[in-house]
Structure 1
Amino acid sequence: MIADREKTLHLPGYEKGENNIFWVQEQPSSFLTPKKLIGVLLNGADEFEDSDEVYEAIGEVLQEISNDKSEEDIRNICDQLLCMLKPERTKATANGAMKVLNAPVHLGSMVDNTGQNVEDVKSIWLIQRDDSLKVDAKKLEKAEAKLQEKQDKRTKEVKTIAPPKLQTATASQVTSKKDSKLEAKGTNRTQDIRIENFDVAYGDRVLLQGADLTLAHGRRYGLVGRNGLGKSTLLRMISSFQLRIPSHVSILHVEQEVIGDDTLALNSVLECDTVREELLKREREINAAINTGSVDPLLNSQLTEVYNQLQNIEADKAPSKASIILNGLGFTSEMQQNATKTFSGGWRMRLALARALFSRPDLLLLDEPTNMLDIKAIIWLENYLQNWPTTLLVVSHDRNFLDTVPTDILHLHSQRIDAYRGNYEQFEKTKTEKLKNQQREYEAQMQQRQHVQEFIDRFRYNANRAALVQSKIKMLEKLPELKPIVKEVEVVLKLPDTETLSPPILQLDEIMFQYTSERVIFSNVNLGATMDSRICIVGDNGAGKTTLLKIIMGILSPTSGMRHVHRNLKFGYFSQHHVDQLDMNVNSVELLQQTYPGKPIEEYRRQLGSFGVSGDLALQTVSSLSGGQKSRVAFARMCMGRPNFLVLDEPTNHLDIETIEALGKSIQKYTGGVILVSHDERLIRMVCNELWVCGNGSVKSIEGGFDEYRKIVEQELEAAAQTK
């Protein structure tokens, strides 16, 4: 393209040689090569919007070439040059045909023949350079500078989205000299864990400052606090030894799912007992040596020693123990013999939990263990952990789980950790009473300060009471300074208002669904819902709960049967994988803009604020938010479409206890219908007036509510335990 343009423009100093090849004549150093002038035109061709910009770039240079031409003549030349440089701009005004010059143009001649039509210019060749056609170097440099300035300005106007800055957590800690000496000598044998005066930060944000954490051996701790304060980060700091603890204490953090391979599920759990695995390996090696005819007299004694050690650790009972754990977490006998690669991510997380329970480390760290479990598995885990022999630290937002498992509660707030004896219910009572006492103490001191200050102000200039005033001032200075009690802001979630729809709203008649001819998920389903419905779907994992939700919303079509919905019914769907569906590279406001474009920024901010995502939090990239904060963003996006019937699949995953409580209250006030799948017993008891149970190839509504369903589950667990 540039070569074509150079053939079209011909300046002094350019010569035409054989075969139409252009060359530049050698010039004295006092001349500025016209090639630079052509460079201004060609390199800036795409930047010129009109002939005025061409004139601005080279007008002074053309005026220098011919002093007898007026400004209007020069502008006409610039207009013609623009047509040559960008012929597509003249398409509309050239009687429908583009004009392409087939010969070079000499600028000096164009100045002399401005009265003639450019179409008459056929071929103008410069044989000898006219020394009068000198180009002022300063003026040409000025033209180049203007063009460069314009290009830089346009480059700045192009907005580029920088990739989100990856942040990492860091920790610092002060250790006592006594502990350091014991650790150095290798004589530290305590099973208690004390982490004193430590800080934890995530990027630029301080999560904990000057905090203390004590974990007594054999006690079970529940770590609670609002979303985003650093509970999961603290567990990672401990498990990665960024916070120093005694080196002889074994730690296991259940955070990542088991890698899928050909290992059987049962063997995957058994492999965690490394002592047993090493003894079995040694047994196989000795037996192989004996069978191949080895005459080493020590082999028999070594084999006897291995058998004694296997007997001491009760190695023969290990498969039964592993099977009981797997069965309690939902793995049938057939599933236990399947390769780990055949399981989904949720089931592989259960495998990771089973491995941790089987290996029994000195410190077990669990982060939201109930998220991946159905109600039956949660009840089994609650019972199992009540007899846990070592130290347990668990992050959970399941209120019933925290009332059942922990012996102590650790409350993370205000960049510190407060310890409370008892379960979550006792913690709430103690914390409420503690806050009341602190408030009373603060108010009493403020009254005393005010009374003393009034006395000082009244008698400050009274000579007779000068000594007494001075003593009062000293007393005021010695009073301990109490900070006002800062209460945590109450979480409020605001679901959209809806208009009442006349029944019937939703009806399933004789619904059957099957993925293959051999696998029927459920059949003969006859259920209905209204705008007043508060329905919870429960059942074992894989029983078809999510499948039923998708049929209700029309995402899946039933194999047989009929689904009837009101023509004005508008579903709001909250998927259990909602976090995976969010764009992690934008902030929350931009995320809502993508889904609902064209609204004022204030409306997006207001919608996010109604779900607790306000201020700077709404401008952070989604990837930097905690799991609970991402859930709130997903709720805000779902509700911005103003649905009148909510379908919620595991909505409490990653939400803190206060937010779950707020969700329950907002559902109670919601004027539309609600169907949810949940394993959170407190939320179910709080909002649901009907229970649909998935299992055994059917979906049925049961009377008696959650109490009746819990009885059924406990009976099934007892029956399963008796058969083992």
Structure 2
Amino acid sequence: MFHVVNLLLNALSPKIHFLSNNVCVLDCGGAEFEDGEEVYDAIGGLLQGSSADCKNEDDIRDICLQMFNTLKLNGHAASKQVLLDTPVQLSQISAESTGLTWTYVFLLSTSSTLSSSTHTPPQTVDARKLEKAEAKLKQKQGRRNERDSQKTTSPLVLEEASASQASSKKDSRVDLSGKNRTYDIRIENFDVSFGERSLLQGAELSLSTGRRYGLIGRNGLGKTTLLKMLASRSLRVPAHITILHVEQEVAGDDTGALQSVLESDTVREGLLTEERLLNARIANGTAEGMETVRLSEIYAKLEEIEADKAPARASIILCGLGFSPKMQTLTTKEFSGGWRMRLALARALFAKPDLLLLDEPTNMLDVRAILWLENYLQTWQTTILVVSHDRNFLNAVVTDIIHLHSQRLESYRGDYENFVKTKEDRLKNQQREYEAQFQYREHIQVFIDRFRYNANRAAQVQSKLKLLEKLFPDNFEKLSPPVLQLDEVEFYYNTDQRLFTQLSVSADLESRICIVGENGAGKSTMLKLLMGELTPVNGIRHAHRNLKIGYFSQHHVDQLDLNVCSIELLLNKFPGRNEEEYRHQLGGYGITGELATRPVASLSGGQKSRVAFAQMTMPCPNFYILDEPTNHLDMETIEALAKALNKFKGGVVLVSHDERLIRLVCRELWVCEHGNVRRVEGGFDEYRDILQEQFRKEGYL
């Protein structure tokens, strides 16, 4: 057993310093190892290979565990050095013992001179094996240091989504056999969670082929998560049904934009590839008889799917989404992220999957492209499930509404307006039934509890929305117009591309102006000129000396520190206030309770937008410049935002593609195009008519 102990001590060198043959100082602690298994990993093999008195693996594990417990110091890992308080009488340790019975005290600080001792016992182990043991220890320590470094630099660990469902063996057998040829989707009794939060419980989802469904619900309830569970087939969708989820932008490479869209039709691409190979074999004289027959079949199939018309169809889709003929020849790596998202949408539309999943497709589009997409989807032949906050888009496109609330899904026939009416009628009927049967409470307790819960939730939501309407404070002095003006402004990023020439616009505290135009026309640039973030090449920007602008960026998430919670975010931006003030500010936008203390990165897109609004309004601006403020907001919040802007006594200039918001808020419509801005007297109706006429003339419809 002396040999075993000696090996242990030497394997831990140079962490051990000897004061005499019987007394030693251990210059290490439990922090060097996470458990007894790590001690075993470090020196177990060494012991088993070198010790004659301890060959049993369990014995060695037990020795390593007791060594770890000794180093651990009963949890006192802070002391780096340990003085054993009695001599280690190795000769008295029984050879049959399976462990070490050391006693110890932890008295010495890191400054103790004991650590300078250089006395070492005679080496009794193979130097090469000792080096291997030490190398293993260093490797483990390196991994531990790396983990600690990652904790320091990336402390945020986001929750993951998961789904589960009850499925019958019969359905599974039919699906696997390939006999299930229906394109209807029915998923019963399923749950969806995000981390520890339950989003759906015992839910049912039915999607009939050829119908277009709008999935709606308040921010943070799980709409996007549900789409992801369907796309990943975490929820069981029949294997023969093809699914496309427009979620990520197209990767930037040397593929042309038009070719990228054509390649999304994998059937056509496969047939064309096979055709080229067979023709090459025929030209070389190496083709066999059956290959000639196969080539005829391929030609018939290509004719059946109208493969020759595919380039024209792909080009029409790209044009409708805003890609000019010149842009269609560019490689995908030459486009920005927003345009590559449009490419992803174009690829999905061209591929025609059996189930098309769209998550806020209008966020990436301008008004012109949205109008084209509405027209295009109205003739879609397969199934669509779309998440959208755009009320007009839903009214134009969907045939059914699926409402996510109270951890379940409810289906309604018709567009969004019909959903609102039907829901109101249902609530009225529930109220009448509740009042009529109140005296029989004991008999209908389940119904009453459910109704009361929904009614309370509805009241809470309405209360928050009414509060949101008051969150644009207007206790500021009136400013004489013009408070903000651009006069004969010329601007360009490079001389080859002049964005504006002789741009003259003005706004005051009465203004409610919406700017529309195609992507790339300069809308966001114009906002930055108004704010003074960009300096005109020529011309003048004038702003009232007391003007205080609140700006909401189209890319508002970029303005937020995702690694802190919402309270910390406001604290860092506006220090010196108490926590209650920050909570009150966030609470007005629906970021309450536990939401306010969660990392911003873990919030939904709509919840991040609400945090950005809370941050923007806290310093009480008297003029708001908003760039696509409705992205990711749910419909109730958009309605509340519109009411808040209408009640606000300051000025508002906004860029938006949301027809509902434009109609509710704006008194002036400016169209940004051809290096200038023009006012459309007839408002949004006139602008819509102009675009429809353009589509007809250009053949995009």
Task: State the TM-score, normalizing by the size of structure 2.
Answer: 0.76
Residues 1:26 and 1:578: Cα distance change in structure 2 (over 3 Å): closer
Question: 1:282 maps to which residue?
Answer: 274
1:378 is matched with which residue: 370, 373, 390? 370
Question: 1:311 maps to which residue?
Answer: 303
Deviations 1:514-567 (A, max 9, x none): 222221112121111010100001000000000000000010111111111101
CA distance in 1, matches of 2:445, 2:199: 30
Question: 2:659 maps to which residue?
Answer: 681
Q: CA-atom RMSD, angstroms?
A: 2.7
1:413 aligns with 2:405: yes
For the residue of structure 1 that corresponds to 2:621, the secondary structure is: coil
For the residue of structure 1 that corresponds to 2:273, the secondary structure is: helix
1:531 aligns with 2:503: no
CA distance in 2, matches of 1:404, 1:345: 27
CA distance in 2, matches of 1:352, 1:603: 43
CA distance in 1, matches of 2:523, 2:495: 20
Residues 1:291 and 1:402: Cα distance change in structure 2 (over 3 Å): same
For the residue of structure 2 that corresponds to 1:411, the secondary structure is: strand
CA distance in 2, matches of 1:141, 1:318: 80
Question: 2:626 maps to which residue?
Answer: 648
Question: 2:584 maps to which residue?
Answer: 606
Residues 1:180 and 1:571: Cα distance change in structure 2 (over 3 Å): same
1:171 is matched with which residue: 154, 163, 176? 163
1:503 aligns with 2:481: yes
Who wins on radius of gyration, i.e. which is larger? Answer: 1
1:213 aligns with 2:170: no
Question: 1:435 maps to which residue?
Answer: 427
1:482 is matched with which residue: 427, 448, 468? 448
CA contact (8 A) 1:510 1:523 kept: yes
CA distance in 2, matches of 1:671, 1:26: 82
Q: Report 1:115-126 matches (<5 A).
A: none
CA distance in 1, matches of 2:666, 2:187: 43
CA distance in 1, matches of 2:108, 2:398: 78
CA contact (8 A) 2:213 2:402 kept: yes
CA contact (8 A) 1:525 1:700 kept: no
The residue type equivalent to 2:566 in the other structure is S
Report the CA distance between 1:294 and its aligned residue: 3.7
Deviations 1:414-453 (A, max 9, x none): 000000000000000000110111122112221344xxxx
Report the CA distance between 1:144 and its aligned residue: 5.9
CA contact (8 A) 2:485 2:506 kept: yes
Question: 2:224 maps to which residue?
Answer: 232
CA distance in 2, matches of 1:26, 1:213: 75
CA contact (8 A) 1:182 1:188 kept: yes
1:445 aligns with 2:423: no
2:680 is matched with which residue: 687, 693, 702? 702
1:545 aligns with 2:523: yes
For the residue of structure 2 that corresponds to 1:513, the secondary structure is: strand
Question: 1:188 maps to which residue?
Answer: 180
CA distance in 2, matches of 1:558, 1:321: 42
Deviations 1:687-708 (A, max 9, x none): 0001111011211122111111
In structure 1, list runs of 5 or more residues that go unmatched.
1-23, 37-137, 148-158, 450-475
Question: 1:592 maps to which residue?
Answer: 570
The residue type equivalent to 1:557 in the other structure is T
Report the CA distance between 1:287 and its aligned residue: 2.3
CA distance in 2, matches of 1:323, 1:531: 45
Residues 1:479 and 1:575: Cα distance change in structure 2 (over 3 Å): closer
Question: 2:144 maps to which residue?
Answer: none
Report the CA distance between 1:600 and its aligned residue: 1.1
For the residue of structure 1 that corresponds to 2:302, the secondary structure is: helix
CA contact (8 A) 1:409 1:421 kept: yes
Residues 1:223 and 1:346: Cα distance change in structure 2 (over 3 Å): same
Task: State the TM-score, normalizing by the size of structure 1.
Answer: 0.74
For the residue of structure 2 that corresponds to 1:546, the secondary structure is: helix
Residues 1:615 and 1:28: Cα distance change in structure 2 (over 3 Å): closer
For the residue of structure 2 that corresponds to 1:482, the secondary structure is: helix
1:567 aligns with 2:533: no
1:333 aligns with 2:311: no
1:267 aligns with 2:278: no
2:390 is matched with which residue: 398, 405, 412? 398
Q: Report 1:127-206 matches (<5 A).
A: 163-206=155-198
CA distance in 2, matches of 1:26, 1:164: 47
Report the CA distance between 1:165 and its aligned residue: 3.1
Report the CA distance between 1:145 and its aligned residue: 12
Question: 2:140 maps to which residue?
Answer: none
Deviations 1:640-660 (A, max 9, x none): 122111010000000000011
CA distance in 2, matches of 1:481, 1:277: 56
CA distance in 1, matches of 2:437, 2:516: 53
CA distance in 1, matches of 2:649, 2:222: 36
For the residue of structure 2 that corresponds to 1:709, the secondary structure is: helix
Report the CA distance between 1:180 and its aligned residue: 2.5
Report the CA distance between 1:298 and its aligned residue: 4.7
Report the CA distance between 1:141 and its aligned residue: 6.7
Deviations 1:304-335 (A, max 9, x none): 33222211111100111111111100011111
Residues 1:606 and 1:237: Cα distance change in structure 2 (over 3 Å): same
Question: 2:40 maps to which residue?
Answer: none
CA distance in 1, matches of 2:641, 2:263: 42
Question: 1:578 maps to which residue?
Answer: 556
CA distance in 1, matches of 2:664, 2:312: 39
CA contact (8 A) 1:199 1:208 kept: yes
For the residue of structure 2 that corresponds to 1:397, the secondary structure is: coil
CA distance in 2, matches of 1:295, 1:508: 72
CA contact (8 A) 2:278 2:287 kept: no
Residues 1:636 and 1:480: Cα distance change in structure 2 (over 3 Å): closer
CA distance in 1, matches of 2:162, 2:241: 22
Residues 1:413 and 1:309: Cα distance change in structure 2 (over 3 Å): same
Deviations 1:144-164 (A, max 9, x none): 6999xxxxxxxxxxx999923
1:715 is matched with which residue: 675, 693, 700? 693
CA distance in 1, matches of 2:202, 2:290: 58
In structure 2, list runs of 5 or more residues that go unmatched.
1-16, 27-102, 113-150
The residue type equivalent to 2:212 in the other structure is R
The residue type equivalent to 1:595 in the other structure is K
Query: Which region of structure 1 is more displaced relative to structure 2, 555-564 or 539-548?
Result: 555-564
**Number of aligned pairs?**
561
For the residue of structure 1 that corresponds to 2:472, the secondary structure is: coil
Report the CA distance between 1:637 and its aligned residue: 0.7
For the residue of structure 1 that corresponds to 2:582, the secondary structure is: helix
Residues 1:142 and 1:680: Cα distance change in structure 2 (over 3 Å): same
CA distance in 1, matches of 2:616, 2:18: 72
Report the CA distance between 1:187 and its aligned residue: 1.2
| Percent identity between the two aligned chains | 61
